[in-house]
Structure 1
Amino acid sequence: MRQPTQHVEKWLRRFHPAPDGETRLVCLPHAGGSASFFHPVSKALAPAVEVLAVQYPGRQDRRHEPAVDTISDLADQILDTLRHLDDRPLVLFGHSMGAVLGYEVALRMPAAGLPPPVHLVVSGRRAPSRYRDERVRHLSDDRIVSELRDLSGTEPAMLADPELLEMILPAVRSDYRAIETYRHAPDQRVDCPVTVLTGDRDSRVSLDEAHAWAEHTTGPMDLHVLPGGHFFLVDRSADVIAKLRQVLSARAARSS
């Protein structure tokens, strides 16, 4: 039985319909992020590719729902949403926390009786086995806002608006709790190629930590270093779109 339409629409945003697109690209946002972050990706790739952006609970139009504060639970619920969208090949693309979620969803797909994604693209995140003692989840609201400002991934106007902050900070804190308490399963690897994108000035990801993604796939891993910090993909959006197009076109060529 297929998922009810309303359930799928609750979790996935389709900004630009692409009924004839041969491939689906599912985009997973960073901690505190929302589906709208990937609107430019959808605009650039449609109609050749159907871009679906995941909307986590606790933000924007889902702000009245409780946020999910473990990667495991989030990955399970995302998989439950994707499991019936099996009529086209699937590529997963996640940034920061979304990269880990993409990895965990990819791991779950074969166990759920689904083919693995044809490709996993991860951005702005160290490999799942590389941990740091990060405790943003325990900071005061003011210090979390300072953290977001330093990362340069949130509109400054939002961070200066007390009413908006009151709405978004619970989800931000929940996301940080999810990613900071995450631990990978050492004996598992995704069964697909992995492309890693990282910024050369990203203080959250060293080059060694990015290279370590090779340990988490049975397929090939390629690493691309772009100029910028943690949100390099905003300033270097043209380069990121070009890399996504390359991944998607290579997949299409292999299947033809």
Structure 2
Amino acid sequence: MFKKINLFCLPYAGASSMGIYYKWNDIIDPLINVIPLELPGRGEKISEPLISSMEELVDYLYDEFYNYLVEMNDNEDYAFIGHSMGTIIIYELIRRIQDSNLKNPIHVFFSGRYPPNFPEPKNIHNLSDTEFKNEIISYGGVPKELIDNDMLLDFFIPQLKTDYTAIENYKYTPTKKWTFNISIFYGSLDSDIHLFDYKNWINFTNKKSHFYSFNEDHFFINTRSNEIINIIQNTLL
């Protein structure tokens, strides 16, 4: 009997997990259950206050994840995928999982970001809204559909600034090497690709690391989702 795999999903800055990942359930193999972990202040949690501390945000999400984990039976495993900011959240969730001696994921997909031990190259969360908006547009920090809709982008500025505050104030803490395989997705046209070596992810695990390049900018998670889903299926099943 094949095991069911719960795929916990984390978003990029300013985004809703449900908005990115929920539709994957219509395409992905039925043995994989896509579970978007929604951040407060967006999606179905729009009425909840935004959290600007990475530690507090991870604590919040860990409680939700833990409730899923304890409900899993012996016929279920789990994996993670996170894009950009979501990779930091996953790293910190794994630290808490290890500290609590809980069951490890069978695989983790890190998408669109260099490892968390590299500091943020810029500090922009304290800029005025106008300066902040111009800055994130200049280096490709928002999807094209927001750039083309100024009113919509203005709506998302509070979420984006909150998330950038969490990212830029994040303090990396080393952890012991993982005992599961990982996959790394990256866009060859992403502005970060020239600043950091994504290959450094191999230093975080004692198992195998697989790298997948997409000829896209930072938001390939949206434009190449079908290919990403195929890779996930072939990896997990």
TM-score range, shorter chain: 0.7 to 0.9
1:141 to 107, 117, 129: 129
Number of the residue aligned with 1:24: 6
Number of the residue aligned with 2:115: 127
Number of the residue aligned with 2:63: 80
Distance 2:79 2:144 in 1: 26
The offset of 1:137, in angstroms, is 0.7
Contact persistence 1:128–1:213 (CA under 8 A): no
1:57 to 28, 37, 40: 40
The offset of 1:56, in angstroms, is 0.5
Distance 1:157 1:25, change over 3 A: same
Distance 1:37 1:219 in 2: 29
Deviations 1:177-231 (A, max 9, x none): 1111212213433332111000111112348521011112232211111111111
Long gaps (5+) in structure 2: none
The offset of 1:57, in angstroms, is 0.7
Number of the residue aligned with 2:159: 171
What SS does structure 2 have at the residue aligned with 1:91? strand
Deviations 1:12-44 (A, max 9, x none): xxxxxxxx9710001100010102111332222
What SS does structure 2 have at the residue aligned with 1:55? coil
Distance 1:62 1:159, change over 3 A: farther
Q: How does 1:96-245 map to 2 (within 5 A)?
A: 96-149=84-137, 150-153=140-143, 155-156=145-146, 159-161=149-151, 164-165=152-153, 167-206=155-194, 208-245=196-233
Deviations 1:42-89 (A, max 9, x none): 222152311011110112332332211122222222121111323121
Give the number of aligned pairs. 228
Which structure carries more relative contact order (alpha carbon 8 Å, separation 6+)? 2
Distance 1:144 1:38, change over 3 A: farther
Please give the root-mean-square deviation of Cα atoms over the aligned residues, in Å.
Answer: 2.3
Taking only the aligned residue pairs, the percentage that are identical comes to: 26
Distance 1:134 1:212 in 2: 20
Number of the residue aligned with 2:53: 70
Distance 1:178 1:152, change over 3 A: closer
Distance 1:139 1:28 in 2: 26
Long gaps (5+) in structure 1: 1-19, 250-256
Further displaced range: 189-198 or 40-49: 40-49
Distance 2:80 2:144 in 1: 23
Distance 1:147 1:240 in 2: 29
Name the amino acid aligned to 1:153.
Answer: P
2:31 to 48, 60, 77: 48
Distance 1:24 1:223 in 2: 22
Name the amino acid aligned to 2:13.
Answer: A
What SS does structure 2 have at the residue aligned with 1:83? helix
Structure 1 residue runs of 4 or more that deviate by more than 6 Å after TM superposition: none
